[in-house]
Amino acid sequence: MSGTTLSPERERIDLPVTGMTCAACAARIERSLSAADGVEEASVNLATERATVRFDPAVTGVDRIVEAIRRAGYDAIIPPPGGATVSGDDPATRARQEEYVRLRRKFQIAVLLAFPVLASAMSHGSIPVLNFRGVGWLEFALTTPVVFYCGAQFYRGAWAALRHRAADMNTLIALGTGAAYVYSVAALVVPSFFASSPMMVMSGGGPMGPTLYFEAAAVIIALILAGRMLEARAKGRTSEAIRRLIGLQAKTATIVRDGSEAEVAIDAVVPGDVLVVRPGALIPVDGTVLDGDSTIDESMLTGESLPVEKQPGDAVFGGTLNRTGSFRFEAKRVGRDTVLARIVEMVERAQGSKAPIARLADVVSGIFTPIVLCIAITTFAIWFVAAPPETRLSLALVNFVSVLIIACPCALGLATPTAIMVGTGVGAENGILVRNGESLETAHKLNTMVLDKTGTITRGQPAVTEIVALRGSENEIIAVAAAAEAGSEHPIATAIARAAKDRGLVVARPTGFEALPGQGVNATVQGMRVVIGNEAVMREAGIPLDSVESQMARISERGGTAIAVAIDGVLAGVIGVADEPRPESKAAIAAMHRMGLDVVMLTGDNQRTAEAIAKDVGVSRVIAGVLPADKAAEVKRLQDGGALVGMVGDGINDAPALAQADVGIALGSGTDVAIESSDITLLKGDLRRVVTTLLLSRATIGTVKQNLFWAFVYNVIGIPIAAGALYPVTGWLLSPVIASAAMSLSSVSVLANSLRLRNFRAPQVLT
């Protein structure tokens, strides 16, 4: 991913890192980066194989950051000039695919060579074709390529770690397989040294030689390669959400230049270009419709399956699908500035971040390998001293190797990032953009949800809710009012005009217009003198409202505004205008209550209007009359009272409160401001998505905890068994081959458990 400007003085860059195998690797790179001059913050994610670095460009640059990674014994892929593009053919993806192919090839060779070695070792002379005096040399010949070709990466990694006075998973594998191999070679070359051992392979009338462990070295490497190969494939699947988003980007665009149409590559489009989109085509970039109309599938942005109607002046977004009509639009944002590119960047950033729950795993993983080495050495020493002299070397070696192999910190290192990756990916596919792992983790602990009223609980725009006709029909009242208000830009005038349009009414042009600020309008419509306004306007005009007092009071009690309409000095009717609750708000708030959340409405409206809306949607706690600048203080007051607060707003006016909240959730519409102003952005302005977000957070963190539990339990149980703790009671010893299979299975099981999150679905009641 690209470098991202944070401020005039600070930048952030995401670098793909190659060569990591376990959490200890990630920790070592983090330490190397953090110690580099100019680096203020560094985070390395094992699952995404990515380093995120915040640095001072005046002190350091990308080359020096890459050099710090290489000093730690690893490598990094430098992003192309110009930074990120919405393309699936990036160097990191190619490197990951090449690594998978390389692992698969080595695994296949290792299996092919290790199988006859295993068969020979397990047959104990019962298979005639493998029962001959030189069978040990055959095992040596087959095992050597497995160790020095298929397993070379483990020995190189162990040597790199040793040069940096560190140890990691490669160290454990190299020591374990290397010890088994070297012991077997020594026993094969100098069998007389082991002649006193009863651990001799018998053949016919006498011993053939000491027990060899070539099969342990060969099969362990094959099994570990299998685990690494499955990990590589599973890691790719965790990033599938990003690849699907990237795949939505159009490759070409039809552009209008010099009066004719031409198809050009997407990279050739610049802001200001006029583009043509036909039915069934992907919209190439972000822009504004100039002419024509259509319905567009925006589910990739919002998760909403219903198509959205677009007309001149409406915004369209790159990657969305044009369903029906043709239209022309002007390009506004292209390349990495499009909403789709920003979404991909945000998802990658979230997947590469660390949740606080990962810190425990980081601490443990950082000291895990040295502890395992100490346990393995202690195991060898105890068995060498306690076992009978004739078997002590073999038993000590077997248990030493078993401890090294089974003690895999990979599962521990993968437990958190894989779940966060899948969780944020699933969220992105459903129009839920999570800024970082910390936000996703904190969301599941929230106990108070503060909701802005206008645009969050309500639609954010006034609408005509009631018409009381005293003179003529409802349509006549609306038509006259819309004509009189035609010269006004007030939201109430807009609501009346929209109501007339929805009813298909013909609206006349006023011949005279006078605005009465804060009260209403005077206008002449088709020769009629029309007065529209509140009670004060009517009183000044000498028009009594006695006959509609009860209706006007009812409208006010419901949180609306009552507008009287008089024609030629006679009261003609009353229009009720209100910012209605979104149809889904009541169900969403009820779901929040069921989840144990204290739901609070925070609004600048007056208390009566706020309480009317709150009663309608089921909010029992209202904080009204709060200016936008004071909303953050109200959130802090709740926090000071012990609440863990989530704030839901529109991402613009509520920015201070969103920043103050423990988790800020913006109901956006895919705009830059909405994406950048919160911890979590919901591209569909639907409160039910807030509930879905909380449920996704709970599911993700539940998966993390399951992963960590099994990773810890696996090592707590596995290491003592490998060390031979059960031998005095049961006589059981753990074969290094079984230990390697269990080690690989542990990492794959963690990945598989994380991938279950891909099946997450919001409850039907919320859809």
Q: Got the DSSP string for 541-556?
A: TT---GGGHHHHHHHH
Q: Catalytic amino acids?
A: 452
Residue 594 host element (H or E): helix 585-594
Question: Where does 114-251 show beta strands of DSSP type E?
Answer: 200-203, 206-210
DSSP letter assigned to residue 329: E
DSSP letter assigned to residue 662: S
DSSP letter assigned to residue 581: B
Q: End-to-end alpha-carbon separation of the chain, Å?
A: 34
Are the beta carbons of 494 and 486 closer than 8 angstroms?
no
Which residues, including other chains, have CB under 8 Å from residue 602's CB and lie 6 or more apart? 450, 451, 452, 453, 623, 626, 631, 634, 635, 647, 657
Phi, psi angle pair for 516, to nearest 5°: -110, 90
Q: How many helices (H) and strands (E) does the chain have?
A: 26, 29
Best CA proximity match to 520, nearest among 508, 507, 535, 501? 535
Burial 298-328 (b: 16+ CB within 10 A, else e): bbbbbbbeebbebeeeebbbbbbbbbeeebb
Q: Got the DSSP string for 454-492?
A: IIIIB-SS-EEEEEEESSS-HHHHHHHHHHHGGG--SHH
Q: Got the DSSP string for 212-254?
A: --HHHHHHHHHHHHHHHHHHHHHHHHHTHHHHHHHTTS-SEEE
Are the beta carbons of 95 and 48 closer than 8 angstroms?
no
Best CA proximity match to 510, nearest among 493, 497, 527, 535? 527
Cα–Cα distances in angstroms (integers) from residue 180 to residues 58, 215, 399, in the given order: 52, 9, 11
Distance, CA of 621 to CA of 330 (rounded, Å): 46
Distance, CA of 96 to CA of 240 (rounded, Å): 13
Using CA of residue 280, residue 281, residue 285, residue 291, what is the dihedral sign?
negative
The residue written with tokens 């596919």 in the block is 429
Give 3-state DSSP helix, strand, coil % of the chain, rounded to 5. 50, 20, 30
Are the beta carbons of 329 and 359 closer than 8 angstroms?
no
Distance, CA of 480 to CA of 532 (rounded, Å): 10
Best CA proximity match to 708, nearest among 404, 349, 417, 372? 417
Best CA proximity match to 19, nearest among 93, 65, 69, 63? 69
Are the beta carbons of 383 and 402 closer than 8 angstroms?
no
